Amino acid sequence: MAAKNKEKLKFSAETGKVLQLMIHSLYTNRDIFLRELISNASDACDKLRYEALTNPDLAKDSSDFAVTIIADKDKRTLTVSDNGIGMNREELIENLGTIAKSGTQEFLGRLTGDGTKDTSLIGQFGVGFYSSFMAADKVTVVSTRAGSDESWQWESDGTGEFSVAPAEKSPRGTAITLHLKSGEDQYLDTFRLRHIVTTYSDHISFPIKVGSAEGEPEAVNTASAVWMRSKADVTPEQYKEFYHHVAHAPDEPWLVLHNKAEGKLEYMALLFIPSQKPFDLFHPDRKRRVKLYVRRVFITEENAELVPAYMRFLRGVVDSEDLPLNISRETLQHNPMMTKIRDALVKKVLAELKKKTESDEEGYRIFWANFGAVLKEGLCEAATPREQILEVCRFYSTHGTGTTSLDAYISRMKPEQEHIYYLTGDRLDALRGSPQLEGFAAKGIEVLLLADHVDDFWVSVVTQYKGRNFKSVTRADINLGEKKSETKTKPDDNITALAGRMKEILGDHVKDVRATSKLTSSAVCLAVDEGAMDVRLERFLVEQKQIAAASAKILEINSDHPIIRSLVTRLSNTEIPLSVSSPVNGENKEKAPPLARGFRGESSSNDIEDAVWLLFDQARIALGETIADPAAFTRRLQRFVEKGLTI
Ligand code: ADP
Ligand code: MG
């Protein structure tokens, strides 16, 4: 019968590459194929147990789930079987051959050529099944989907093709038979097999039985859910193995949070924070990866309510005693119990992070580098414990090269300083050189430097921390106190006149031109009014086409700066009145009658205009904006350079 309807199919291109690698390149730590097959078998049992909640008939032949491993020395085969959900013909084809999984490409991209490292990536990217080809030169899968009376056989030697054919009716579930490569007899040794199972799969909550072709196989694991055990009964090694299993991750967990909630809300939580950044952390779907169980029955992994998106770095299991077992994945979203569990978990995690900030500074630094940008997303959402999140946030600042907490920032604030100052931007090094910081540096006032994308958003939502307001240094109303120019007898009329002239020249391109105390070595910078939209947020919205165009900014000028002073002098020497009619960057002034241009030492209105436009464009560049008319900018700059060189 097997020969009838036998179909040959090609592996997807990416799967083909993965297989080649398994067969030809990965030799180290081949034992892990067993971990992957057991992990799949355990998932299959979980899936059936869940489906049987609403359709008990599916598991009617047996609800004692188990994974069985049989080594047959005569045939030189190793078979891993389970009585889980099973696969029908289409599922065999898709899951084990043709479907292009998002992880496969990623996996191939991450390969380093270092066998040990590459092997550790296998489970992470959902290519676990193919690891059986590290030890086998042929793999046969026979599967019967729960509830179906057909069995199907999948077979391949891993080189380009696989076959699918109907098979003799077999019991529910999946049996995967590895025809071992020569030299791989170690996997026929039951003693060795038991050892591997205890090392890698002791945490599996279904019995794993190991045996040979003759005699009854025996269970080797404790088969109790790790998260239900008391902390004292779980070794760090077992936590780690369980983490590898639930998280599909090769690294060590940085934080293990094992906790039992009793009282109104009863649940067990075993959560982990990875020590390395998972590859899909910033994928647009922002998947959460904490598994929900109800009284030991696996319900779902993809549940938006269990942990918030800004804690999507969490891995692990939450097992509720209160939720109804027959709950469907869809109605879970609206269950008030879920919200309560989530709020409790969030509080717990933040409290634990707070402790870590003190007990493990170096570890926390790495955690923050990996996941800080994710956690900060929580600041943007409504109804989150903002103050607790801010407490564990770390920011770069003008104080030193490392990061600081807000509490440490506050402790360094000047007596007369009211606000927590910050500057947002794309890159830390660019921020450090920003002209906006000059006045603050001169006064010894620390400024937070925010270079994560998410920073642009939370700063527009979060107004204060522990009674101190956050204030961007790009705001126009910042007064850094007395400056030399202001101690002069009276306000400088000349500066006011220059500001007026500059506003005339720049027209609608600026909202206003004003003197500022923020600058020391730069002549100008751009700012926005209090209450106006943050510069970078606005730029983002323009890019996203959510708003049509950026608003005009305020050009702030440094009245002490030599360029500004000489503009003042030139302006007072210029008799020729300016006719300001220029629509485009004043560039049509070029066609105006030649004025006193070229006579150095004499004032020229064109020189002033050129200088004003150059200053404005330079301020835009410093803010990371593009200049409106690059050609005009280049011509002006060239004229100035020419003059400078021909003195
Ligand atoms: P992953 O487990 O990360 O999805 P694998 O390569 O290990 O990737 O497995 C691919 C898919 O094949 C699984 O997602 C599952 O749908 C299916 N599969 C593998 N083994 C079994 C099994 N024993 N029973 C049922 N389905 C299985
Ligand atoms: Mg798997």
Predicted confidence at residue 62, as pLDDT, reads: 82
- Name the residue with higher pLDDT: 440 or 284: 440
Ligand 1 centroid to Cα of residue 331, in Å, is 26
Predicted confidence at residue 201, as pLDDT, reads: 84
Contact (Cβ atoms closer than 8 angstroms) between residue 77 and residue 179: yes
Q: Which of 156-160, 191-195, 544-548 has the lowest mean pLDDT?
A: 544-548
Distance of CA 476 to the CA centre of its chain: 33
Strands ordered across the beta sheet of 297-300 = 253-261, 267-274, 315-320, 289-294, 297-300
Q: Could you tell me the residue ranges of all domains in the chain?
A: 7-224, 227-363, 394-472, 493-646
Q: Which amino acid is at 289?
A: R
**Half-sphere CA count of 643, side-chain side, radius 13 A:** 14
Q: Is the C-beta atom of 20 inside 6 A of ligand 1?
A: no
Beta-strand pair 315-320/420-424: unpaired
Q: Is the C-beta atom of 103 inside 6 A of ligand 1?
A: no
Contact (Cβ atoms closer than 8 angstroms) between residue 357 and residue 375: no
Rounded-to-integer distance, Cα 604 and Cα 63, Å: 94
As a whole number, mean pLDDT of residues 394-420 equals 95
As a whole number, mean pLDDT of residues 337-363 equals 95
pLDDT at 452 over 90: yes
Q: pLDDT digit string (tens) for 6-29? A: 999 999 888 888 888 888 777 777
Ligand 2 centroid to Cα of residue 184, in Å, is 22
Predicted confidence at residue 486, as pLDDT, reads: 42
Ligand 1 centroid to Cα of residue 338, in Å, is 28
For residue 616, give the nearest of 559, 561, 552 by alpha carbon.
552
Rounded-to-integer distance, Cα 146 and Cα 153, Å: 15
Residue of the CA atom closest to atom 18 of ligand 1: 40
Burial 574-595 (b: 16+ CB within 10 A, else e): beeebeeebeebbbebeeeeeb
pLDDT at 588 over 60: no
Show the tokens assigned to 462.
């979060």
Q: Is the C-beta atom of 80 inside 6 A of ligand 1?
A: no
Q: Which amino acid is at 598?
A: G
How far lies 544's CA from each of 247, 281, 285, 538, 549, in Å? 34, 22, 18, 10, 11
Predicted confidence at residue 544, as pLDDT, reads: 82
Predicted confidence at residue 481, as pLDDT, reads: 65
Predicted confidence at residue 490, as pLDDT, reads: 55
As a whole number, mean pLDDT of residues 294-310 equals 84
Show the tokens assigned to 54.
């609403």
Burial of 409: CB neighbours in 10 Å, binned 0-12, 13-18, 19+: buried
Rounded-to-integer distance, Cα 97 and Cα 163, Å: 10
Rounded-to-integer distance, Cα 372 and Cα 463, Å: 19
Q: Give Cβ neighbours of residue 138 (< 8 Å, ≥ 6 apart).
A: 155, 156, 157, 158, 178, 179
Q: What are the E-state strand segments in 287-329?
A: 289-294, 297-300, 315-320
How far lies 397's CA from each of 11, 400, 421, 427, in Å? 52, 7, 10, 13
The topology under which CATH files domain 227-363 is Ribosomal Protein S5; domain 2 (3.30.230)
Q: Is the C-beta atom of 95 inside 6 A of ligand 1?
A: yes
Predicted confidence at residue 135, as pLDDT, reads: 92
User: Any idea of the CA torsion for 404, 410, 416, 418, to the nearest 10 degrees?
Assistant: 100
As a whole number, mean pLDDT of residues 260-280 equals 92
Predicted confidence at residue 584, as pLDDT, reads: 46
Rounded-to-integer distance, Cα 369 and Cα 347, Å: 21
- Index of the ligand 1 atom closest to the CA of residue 85: 25
Ligand 1 centroid to Cα of residue 168, in Å, is 22
Residue of the CA atom closest to atom 12 of ligand 1: 95
Contact (Cβ atoms closer than 8 angstroms) between residue 403 and residue 451: no
What φ, ψ does residue 28 adopt, rounded to 5°?
A: -75, 145
pLDDT at 100 over 90: no
3-state secondary structure 337-357: HHHHHHHHHHHHHHHHHHHHH
Ligand 1 centroid to Cα of residue 127, in Å, is 9
Q: pLDDT digit string (tens) for 424-435? A: 988 999 999 999
Q: pLDDT digit string (tens) for 111-144? A: 777 777 777 777 677 778 988 998 999 999 999 9
Please report which ligand is nearest the Cα atom of 65. 1
Rounded-to-integer distance, Cα 160 and Cα 157, Å: 8
Predicted confidence at residue 628, as pLDDT, reads: 80
Ligand 2 centroid to Cα of residue 220, in Å, is 21
CATH code, 394-472: 3.40.50.11260
Q: Is the C-beta atom of 36 inside 6 A of ligand 1?
A: yes
- Name the residue with higher pLDDT: 69 or 608: 69
Contact (Cβ atoms closer than 8 angstroms) between residue 171 and residue 126: no
Residue of the CA atom closest to atom 7 of ligand 1: 128
As a whole number, mean pLDDT of residues 603-618 equals 85
Predicted confidence at residue 258, as pLDDT, reads: 97
- Index of the ligand 1 atom closest to the CA of residue 128: 7
- Same CATH fold assignment for domains 7-224 and 394-472: no
Contact (Cβ atoms closer than 8 angstroms) between residue 528 and residue 476: yes
CATH code, 7-224: 3.30.565.10
| Sign of the torsion angle spanned by Cα atoms 520, 524, 528, 530 | positive
What's the whole-number average pLDDT of the chain?
Answer: 87
Give the residues across from 259 on adjacent strands.
269
- Index of the ligand 1 atom closest to the CA of residue 125: 3
Q: pLDDT digit string (tens) for 551-573? A: 889 999 999 999 999 999 888 87
- The helix or strand, by DSSP H or E, that contains position 465, with its residue range, turns out to be strand 464-465
For residue 48, give the nearest of 91, 80, 86 by alpha carbon.
86
- The CATH superfamily label for domain 493-646 reads Heat shock protein 90, C-terminal domain (1.20.120.790)
Ligand 1 centroid to Cα of residue 308, in Å, is 27
Residue of the CA atom closest to atom 4 of ligand 1: 126
pLDDT at 589 over 50: no
Please identify every residue whose CB atom is under 5 Å from ligand 2, which is an ion.
40, 128
How far lies 326's CA from each of 56, 109, 319, 320, 476, in Å? 11, 41, 14, 13, 59
Q: Would you say the pTM of this structure is higher than 0.75?
A: yes
Predicted confidence at residue 295, as pLDDT, reads: 87
pLDDT at 264 over 60: yes
Predicted confidence at residue 600, as pLDDT, reads: 38
Q: Give Cβ neighbours of residue 105 (< 8 Å, ≥ 6 apart).
A: 14
pLDDT at 578 over 50: no
- Index of the ligand 1 atom closest to the CA of residue 82: 23
Ligand 2 centroid to Cα of residue 36, in Å, is 5
